[in-house]
Amino acid sequence: MALTVLCLSFVAFLVLGVPVAFAIGLSCLATFVVEGLPFETAIQMMTSGMNVFSFLAIPFFIFSGELMLHGGIADKIVAFARSLVGHWKGGLGLANVMASTLFGGVSGSPVADTSAMGGVMIPIMKREGYSAAYAVNVTTHASLSGALMPTSHNMIIYAFAAQAATGMISGHMIKDVSIGDLMFAGLVPVFWIMACMLVTAYWQARKYGYPKSEDGRSLIERFPGWSVVLRTFVASVPGLLVIAIILFCVMKGITTATEAAAIAVTYSLLLTVVIYRSMTRQKLMKSFAKAAKTTGVILLLIGVSNMLRYQMAYLEIPDAIESALLTATKEPWLMLLYINIIQVVLGIFLDMAAHILITTPLFLPLAIQMGVGPVQFGMMLLLNCALGLVHPPVGTVQFVGCAIGNISIGEATKTAWPYYLAIFVAINLVTYVPGFSTWLPSLITGHAVL
């Protein structure tokens, strides 16, 4: 009875358009009433879920990304990417992919990346002979790299959700998950996605003849010269250094992820206020407000998700799901395929933070049984969540891109399949080739990363 109330009430709230955080909280409270459990327990679970020191990294990373977003860093990255590949066939599309990937590493947020790059590149691309659908798809899919970059607050959320993971894989004891390992694990998949996006953007540009004028004439730019490339690169380096600073601090053990995030904020303030002098008082207040709002939403999600985790443990839901999947198959490759399919479907309806918090305790123990470590599973999960960000009906990132490009979701989705395919291939590489995500952190840390 309690399980029925929990599931049906949650679905009903989502259908009614209730925000995910409130839908989770209200469905949990309804289940507490049915079970006769005290509300004090619910409040205790919620507050204990948010009262974690490492979560200080979340507002710091978000604020750092907002400072970079409003501080003009995007313009300098776009200028560098455009000078380097803007003269090729589909040059603005290729520049968009490079700029979106680089800025994703700075902002750590696909939504912020799409807002920044889309606001700059989509109008330019439309004006210079590219279709709105092409401009939107290139921007939104390349921006997904922000979910796997070292500045991503979603890695912090996953590390929290995976903290109870235990087990043995190849003689190695699994206990918790290192945020530093996660930061390095995302780099190879990110560059794979960027390479696939570059190939796809180039292929579509050749297929449709982009860029072209209304009368069909080609509008390819001229190469500005290596002096311009060097000058724009030097101008963009200070903004890109935030990625290197975070990785260096974590790799050398100088700081924790929380301290590295605080350093990122300090550096972002120094860069935008002192060096570039692009940060006005109005932009700074806007960055504060946006960071506070986003942090509040995420922490509320963390709190209610901890309440949901308590409910799931109380109702033995993880055990039931594990038993059902193990009954369906005992083959590890097929089990991982089932998990990925379920993740893709859930990603269509759930926002990224909620997706991570709800599904990690459900599927990570089973993945460990199949020989998949928490770092590898984290990359699987983040890629599945990223795919959901550009897939209707929720598709937060795609909504932002389409709003900027002034086109419908349906129009953009018609030509998006090559980009979906690239991300799907990356998901399968992470799933079935462990070294794709674990080789680099193992090499850097000097110990086996699973």
pLDDT tens for residues 96-119? 888 888 877 777 778 777 877 777
How far is 264 from 16, CA to CA, in rounded Å?
Answer: 39
Whole-prediction pTM value? 0.81
Q: What was the pLDDT predicted at 254?
A: 61
Indicate the average pLDDT of the chain: 80
Asked if residue 220 lies in contact with residue 211, where contact means CB atoms within 8 angstroms, the answer is yes
Asked if residue 426 lies in contact with residue 196, where contact means CB atoms within 8 angstroms, the answer is yes
- List the Cα angle 226/242/152 in 5-degree steps: 120
How far is 152 from 14, CA to CA, in rounded Å?
Answer: 26
- Tally the residues of the chain: 450
Give exposure, 192-229, as e/b (b: 16+ Cβ within 10 Å): bbbebbbebbbebbeeeebbbeeeeeeebbeeeeeeeb
User: 345-365, pLDDT tens digit by residue?
Assistant: 887 777 788 788 888 888 888
Mean pLDDT of 374-395: 84
Residue with tokens 């960071």: 291
User: 255-301, pLDDT tens digit by residue?
Assistant: 667 777 888 888 888 888 888 888 888 888 888 888 888 888 778 87
Beta bridge partners of 166: 175
DSSP 3-state percent helix, strand, coil across the chain (nearest 5): 75, 0, 20
Q: State percent of the chain over pLDDT 70.
A: 92
- Determine which of 50-54, 136-140, 269-273, 332-336 has the lowest per-residue pLDDT on average: 50-54
| Residue 216 in this model has a pLDDT that exceeds 60 | no
Q: What was the pLDDT predicted at 393?
A: 63
